[in-house]
Amino acid sequence: MSRLKYVLLTLSFVSSVAISHCFAEPVAAPVNAENIRTDQVLGIRTHSCGHVIHLLMQTRMLRQSGQVGFGGAMYNPHLGVMSKPGDLQLLCVSLISDACEGAGPIYQIQLQNCSEIPVGNFRVSVVGACGQIQPYSPTAIVTVPRIEAGAVLELQIQLPLTCLAIYNPAGAAVEFNTLIVAIDSFDELIECNEVNNILILNRSEIAPLVVEETTVVEESIETTAPPAVDTAPVVEGGVSAPAAPASPMDSIDLDDLDLGEAEQTAVRFR
């Protein structure tokens, strides 16, 4: 094959791949709970989880090689040496509500931006699997528009209803028993730690979300009446004499009473 023909065939292949990608339906479209329910009613097949499979393989290779992520400093020819890349960390997963007859389970995902700058426009994916993940295992995807530096973010994601009817190798429809959760699931951010972005959880071991109740303690001011004073006189022998009834004359002090000088003396003879 001549070199010119080889170049033409290569260009033709690249052009066909580019055109197919232009018309292909994007799998990175944000998915929320309402879209999931609409897809279930319309019978639309679940989104592909190939990006999560790729992230699982990449994480496994990093662990095998003893690495965790990008450890060096980033370099930009226009800005020079930039600071060390930050990190997104998947903290925990909790159950909000379990699956029912008409809807899949809802989970709360808690993650933290362990970086010095805010980041955003990355995806979070959850996948329900029956032991082994498949390219079209039930998947839900949400987009995080922004998370501030050092902030903790909580997201609620609902799995499609198809997670309750996954066909196993024997051909029987069974419920999912494994939950795979991935943050930055399309690997769009450069991080110093890539292995803390994904968790594989046993469905039965995911604890329900515990909401802490705040108890308001009201301080009550108690008013205590002064103790009654017994004013009854005590006589010899320890026996109290009965108290005399109060009289208006008791409040008059004869020593302080000013009667004035008598101007005349009245004498009466019989």
Residue 151, number of CB atoms within 10 A of its CB? 13
Residue 179 identity (one-letter amino acid): L
**All residues at 6 or more sequence positions from 140 whose CB lies less than 8 Å from its CB, including other chains:** 31, 36, 47, 125, 126, 157, 158, 159, 160
Lowest-confidence range among 91-95, 173-177, 209-213, 215-219?
A: 215-219
Q: How far is CA 81 from the centre of its chain?
A: 35
- CB contact at 8 A, 178 and 131: yes
Q: What kind of fold does domain 23-71+83-205 have according to CATH?
A: Immunoglobulin-like (2.60.40)
Q: How far apart are CA 112 and CA 144, in angstroms?
A: 12
Position 122 scores a pLDDT of: 94
Position 223 scores a pLDDT of: 54
CA torsion through residues 10, 14, 17, 23, sign: negative
Using DSSP's 3-state secondary structure scheme, residue 113 falls into strand
- CB contact at 8 A, 90 and 111: yes
Position 67 scores a pLDDT of: 84
Q: Give percent of the chain with pLDDT exceeding 70.
A: 57
Residue 172, CA atoms < 13 Å, CB-side half-sphere: 5
Q: Average of pLDDT values for 173-181?
A: 95
pLDDT higher than 80, residue 99 = yes
pLDDT higher than 70, residue 72 = no
| Between residues 16 and 56, the one the model is more confident about | 56
Q: What is the mean pLDDT of the chain?
A: 75
Band (pLDDT 50/70/90 cuts) for residue 131 is confident
Position 259 scores a pLDDT of: 54
Whole-structure pTM value: 0.62
Q: Which of 19-23, 43-47, 84-88, 146-150 has the highest mean pLDDT?
A: 146-150
**All residues at 6 or more sequence positions from 76 whose CB lies less than 8 Å from its CB, including other chains:** 82
Q: How does pLDDT run across 199-240, given as a tens digit for each residue?
A: 999 999 999 998 776 665 555 555 555 555 555 555 455 555
Q: Give percent of the chain with pLDDT exceeding 90.
A: 42
pLDDT higher than 60, residue 160 = yes
Position 85 scores a pLDDT of: 80
Position 59 scores a pLDDT of: 93
| Between residues 32 and 130, the one the model is more confident about | 130
* Token couple for 86: 């930050």
pLDDT higher than 60, residue 30 = no
- In the chain, where the domains are located: 23-71+83-205
Band (pLDDT 50/70/90 cuts) for residue 174 is very high
Position 29 scores a pLDDT of: 37
- CB contact at 8 A, 117 and 26: no
| Between residues 44 and 123, the one the model is more confident about | 123
